[in-house]
Amino acid sequence: MSKTTTTGYNQGLALCAACYILWGIFPLYWKLLKNVTSPFVLGNRILWSAVFLTVFCIIQNRKAFVNTISNKVNIKYMSLAGALIAVNWGTFIYAVNNGYLIESSLGYYINPLVNIMMGMLFFKERLNVYEKISAILAFIGVVYMAVSYGSLPVIGLVLAFSFSLYGVIKKKAGLPVAPALALENILILPVALIYFTWVYNNIPEVYSSLTLSESILLVLGGLVTAFPLLLFAKAVKLISYTTVGFLQYIGPTLQLIIAVAIFHEEFTPSHWICFGFIWLGLTVFTINLIRKGLNK
């Protein structure tokens, strides 16, 4: 784990936990747009995120924003980051509105394990005994669920790897949080605008059928999207990628509860076994975090 001050480390933990709590309850928001096609929701998510973040950056620090978006290296990094997050968003929206929230939850349970692998591969991070035990328990649970699922969980794997690689790029780039987020959305915005034009020319009823509430939700989707991303981008600069990986279990746990309790998706005995191992791993990891805090 990288060395940070106690204040910075605790701030990173708080920011990371907050963003995952928000992401965990977001299915409730996107479900309100179930009558709107997933690509159209995704396009609006990109558009309004770009608008919100650009305005925010200009107000906050115009000079830093201009310097960030005019750098060719930054453009290269954020182009890839933007493409990865667009894939992640689109897959998640599709999963929520087509009855695959449990599989989406599985993907975000797999993601921390991918983060651990990425942390060791790209940042030379090392695991202590507690973290190794936690990782093994979580790995057993995820593998069991993947096997019992009966087929390759494509949605889960796409969500896991797209977001893990997105986090790696954000951590490696080390750019100012808000300008980097604005840039990645600006870079993928032309694709969304081309799609909107195509829809307008070929399926105009997509626009005419929108209700007022749906239109408002689509616009506010930019704020809903950008805020937790700001928290996440700040968090990954303050804490290790391994810690980010384990804290991510907060999000899929909340998604799982929503999927079963509110959306009434089936929760099988296999799910109980899988999540039992994962929750045990989280318990060990929490003990490790408390132990580290007491030793600082």
pLDDT (tens digit, 9 = 90+) per residue, 8-41?
888 888 999 999 999 899 999 999 999 999 999 9
Residue indicated by tokens 């937790």: 228
Report the distance separating Cα 56 and Cα 170, nearest Å: 19
- Judged on CB neighbours under 10 Å (0-12, 13-18, 19+), 80 is middle
Residue among 157, 168, 84, 79 nearest 121 (CA)? 168
Which long-range contacts (C-beta less than 8 Å, at least 24 apart) are formed by 230-234? 230/177, 230/178, 230/181, 231/15, 231/16, 231/18, 231/19, 231/22, 232/15, 232/16, 232/19, 232/167, 232/170, 233/170, 233/177, 233/180, 233/181, 234/12, 234/15, 234/177
- Judged on CB neighbours under 10 Å (0-12, 13-18, 19+), 70 is exposed
256 Cβ contact partners less than 8 Å away, ≥ 6 residues apart: 101, 102, 105, 267, 271, 275
Is 1 a residue whose pLDDT tops 50?
no
* pLDDT bucket at 153, cuts 50 / 70 / 90: confident
Is residue 156 within 8 A of residue 255, CB to CB? The reply is: no
Determine the average pLDDT of the residues in 96-115: 83
Identity of residue 131 = E
Return the percent helix, strand and coil in the chain, to nearest 5.
Answer: 85, 0, 15
Residue indicated by tokens 């509860």: 257
Instruction: Using a cut of 0.75, tell me whether the model's pTM lies above it.
Output: yes
**Model confidence pLDDT, tens digit, residues 176-206:** 888 988 999 999 999 999 999 999 999 999 9
Q: Supply 159's token pair.
A: 């969500």
Residue among 87, 17, 1 nearest 234 (CA)? 17
DSSP 272: H
What integer pLDDT is reported at residue 296 of this predicted model? 57
Report the distance separating Cα 111 and Cα 105, nearest Å: 10
Residues 88, 94, 98, 102: what is their CA dihedral angle, to the nearest 10 degrees?
Answer: 10
Is 250 a residue whose pLDDT tops 50?
yes
Report the distance separating Cα 189 and Cα 52, nearest Å: 13
Cα dihedral sign for 39, 41, 42, 43? Answer: positive
What integer pLDDT is reported at residue 276 of this predicted model? 87
What integer pLDDT is reported at residue 195 of this predicted model? 95
221 Cβ contact partners less than 8 Å away, ≥ 6 residues apart: 29, 33, 41, 44, 45, 48, 49
Determine the average pLDDT of the residues in 213-234: 89
Determine the average pLDDT of the residues in 44-65: 91
CA angle 84, 50, 213 (to 5 degrees): 105
13 Cβ contact partners less than 8 Å away, ≥ 6 residues apart: 235, 239, 243, 247, 289
160 vs 288, residue with greater confidence: 160
* H or E element, residue 87: helix 72-97
